[in-house]
Amino acid sequence: MTTIVDVARAAGVSVATVSRVLNGKAQVRGELRARVMRAVEELRYVPNPTARNLRRNESRTILILAPNITNPYYTHIIAGIGEAAHEHGYSSFLCNTEGDRAREEQLLGRLSLHQADGAILLATELGAEWLKPYAGKHPIVQCSEFDPEVDVTHVSIDNYRAARDVMAHLLGLGHRRIGLISSENRYYSTAMRTRGYLDALREAGLPDAGEYIRKATVDYTFKSGFDSARSLLSQEARPTALFCISDMLALGAIASAREMGFRVPEDVTVIGFDDVEHTTMFHPYVSTVVQPCFDIGHRAMELLYELMHERTPPRQEIMPHSLVVRESSAPRHHGFVDFTACV
């Protein structure tokens, strides 16, 4: 196998000169550069990336920690990360953590072993007390989800503002009994979407919404959305609209409403969050908050690259969101008796 020594001998230069030419890190006279590249071509020399990375004490690999890679929301973010990683010459090691804190700690240990150069956390169960010191030692970017108590670079949307946009839409359609299908998880996005929902109700002068809130499973499954909607719509004074904090929950809610004999949107409006492709696969197409998932992932990798090369990126980047209105939302049915309006 041809080595860098063979290239240097054929070109009549030192090994250091060959290295400088191949790495492009120093100025080399045109004549010498041409001789080196001619020798490389003639000998069909291919640099050994493993040996090069060992010398540089880097792996050219990044970790991606995701709680549930089957969720289509995460797949688009991961695609964006992978695209940017490829552009910078990095490989990605995708880890499905299933929200297991011990597994997350074990996987992040690869950074200390130099098996990865940085990590992107899509959602983590690691508390601030553990993440703070660890993030101070290694390049880490929180993507989509983040802990506001930890000074770690992160990329997300304004979840509170997005929830307020949803509520303004529903209130504008005349809905007053609005149910929320939230989650049992401890994510900051969940807290902000819930706060946006509650603040909008309070500012509209509507009563406490405790009876209209259900918490689905931590991983936003279709079934948990189905079950939560059934519970909400079984009430005598049922909601006329459901705000679901993820599209998978919304899809489950629509299926549940239909099974119970309710029409969507004539009898109950359903709004989702994320804009995964499933929302336009079947009718009614789901009204939802659009997150630029691919762009969020791509930007997270760009920021990680800057961190790994000792540049100082912004601590926080907020990406734009929008509310897209489709077939699953409509004005409150005129024949529906809203008892709260009689109070």
Q: Percent of the chain scored above 70 by pLDDT?
A: 89
The answer to whether the Cα torsion of 206, 210, 216, 220 is positive or negative is positive
- Return the biggest CA–CA distance within the chain: 94
Q: What is the mean pLDDT of the chain?
A: 86
Q: Return the CATH architecture of domain 56-157+293-320.
A: 3-Layer(aba) Sandwich (3.40)
Cβ-contact 178, 243 below 8 angstroms = yes
Lowest mean pLDDT among 39-53, 264-278, 323-337: 39-53
Domains 4-47 and 159-292+324-342 share a fold: no
Cβ-contact 297, 81 below 8 angstroms = yes
pTM: 0.78
Per domain, the residue ranges of the chain are 4-47, 56-157+293-320, 159-292+324-342
Q: How far apart are CA 2 and CA 98, in angstroms?
A: 45
Give the tokens for residue 109.
């240990």
Q: Quick: pLDDT tens for 55-109.
A: 455 678 999 999 888 888 899 999 999 999 999 889 998 988 887 878 888 887 8
Q: Report pLDDT for 342.
A: 37
Q: Regarding predicted confidence, which is higher, 257 or 3?
A: 257
Q: With a cut of 80, say whether residue 130 has pLDDT above it.
A: no
**159-292+324-342 CATH fold:** Rossmann fold (3.40.50)
Q: With a cut of 80, say whether residue 11 has pLDDT above it.
A: yes
Q: How far apart are CA 205 and CA 313, in angstroms?
A: 42
Q: Report pLDDT for 129.
A: 67
CATH class of this structure's domain 4-47: mainly alpha
Q: With a cut of 70, say whether residue 336 has pLDDT above it.
A: no
